[in-house]
Amino acid sequence: MESLLIHFVRFVFLICALGLSQGHADDETATGIQEYRDLLADINPAELWILSGEDLWFSAAGPKEVSLEECDLGKGPGVTKGAYVELPRYFPDVKKVMDLEQRLIHCRTLIQGFSRGEVSSYPFTKRGQETSEIEMLVTFIASESKGMRMNIPLEHVAEKNMFDLGKQLFYFRAGSHDFGCITCHSGDNKRIRLQELPNFKNQDQARKTYGSWPAYRVSAGEVRTMQHRLYDCFRQQRFPEALYGDDLITALIMFLARSADGGLYDAPAMKR
C-alpha cells in the first residue's frame, strides 16, 4: 500500500513538472513571436498600402470622375481622422449601421458612380494578383486613427440591435464541427500552432487584438482587413461562405469593436 502511494506521489510530481515545462515553452514561444514583431515594427510593408489608399481617396475615379472627398465616414464629408475608431456606426442618410467597408461601397457607388458589382466583386487580394483597391482604402483610413482610443457609439437603437445580433453570432455554434467564435476566443492561453487566440471575453485582450487590424500578414504578403479576418474564420468553422459587405458581418464587427471600446488603436499592425 505504501509502495503504491509513493508511486502515485511520484506520478503527480512528474505531471506537474511536465506542465511547468510546457508552460515555460509556451512563454518562450510567445516572447519569441513578440520580439520578431517588434523587430519588424519600423519597416511594416503596410505603409505601401497606406500610400496607395491615400492616392485612391484623393484621385478622381469612376464614371463620375470625382474623388472620395465628399464621402462622409461619420465625421463629415472627407474627414478621415478618427473615423475608423468610431466604426461601425449608424448613418442617418441610409438609415442603417455600417462598418468602414460597407460605407466605402456606398460612397464609391453613390459618389463615383461605380456599380456595386464593380466595387465589391474583388474585396480580397488573391496571391500573386493585383491588390484590391478597397483593402488599400481601408488601410489608409484605418491608419488615420492610429494612436486614438476606440469609441464605438451605442446610442441609436439600430446600433444597439446590431451589437446584440453580433453578440448572438459570437456565441452561435453550428456547422459540421459544432464551431463558433466562442470556441477559440473565450479562454486564455489558447493557440493554434504559432497563432495566439485572443480571449474576447477579456477586455484587455479584446482591445489589443481588435486595435491591431487591419494588419500586414507576412504569410500572405498582403494587408488583410477585419472583413477578411471574419471571412476566413467562417471558412475555418465550416460555415457557409460569408457575403462581403453583409449586415451579419457588420453585426459581428460591431460586437468585437465595442468589446475593445476604450482601447488604444495601433494599426495597421504586422502578423505572421
Residue 185 pLDDT > 80 = no
> What average pLDDT does this structure show over 116-132?
89
Ramachandran angles phi, psi of 173, nearest 5°: -120, 135
Residue 107 pLDDT > 50 = yes
* Average pLDDT across the chain, whole number: 85
Residues assigned a catalytic role: 233
| Cβ-Cβ contacts under 8 Å for 244 (sequence gap 6 or more) | 101, 120, 123, 124, 227, 231
> What average pLDDT does this structure show over 47-66?
98
What pLDDT score was predicted for residue 50? Answer: 97
What percentage of the chain exceeds 70 in pLDDT? 82
End-to-end CA distance of the chain: 53
Measured N-to-C along each axis, helices 203-210 and 247-259 cross at an angle, to the nearest 10 degrees, of 120
| Cβ-Cβ contacts under 8 Å for 32 (sequence gap 6 or more) | none
Q: Which residue has the higher pLDDT, 224 or 190?
A: 224
How many residues are listed for the chain in this entry? Answer: 272
pTM above 0.85, yes or no: no
Nearest Cα neighbor of 140 from 37, 71, 230, 91 is 71
pLDDT bin (cut points 50, 70, 90) of residue 176 is confident
Residue 8 pLDDT > 60 = no
Alpha-carbon distance of 38 to 272, in angstroms, equals: 12
What pLDDT score was predicted for residue 17? Answer: 47
* Domain coordinates in residue numbering, the chain: 1-43, 44-271
Cell, residue 143: 491608419
CATH architecture of 44-271: Orthogonal Bundle (1.10)
Integer Rg of the chain from CA: 22
Helix then strand count (H, E) for the chain reads 10, 7
pLDDT bin (cut points 50, 70, 90) of residue 194 is low
Alpha-carbon distance of 218 to 223, in angstroms, equals: 9
Instruction: Give the range among 98-112, 140-154, 208-222, 255-269 with minimum mean pLDDT.
Output: 208-222
What pLDDT score was predicted for residue 241? Answer: 77
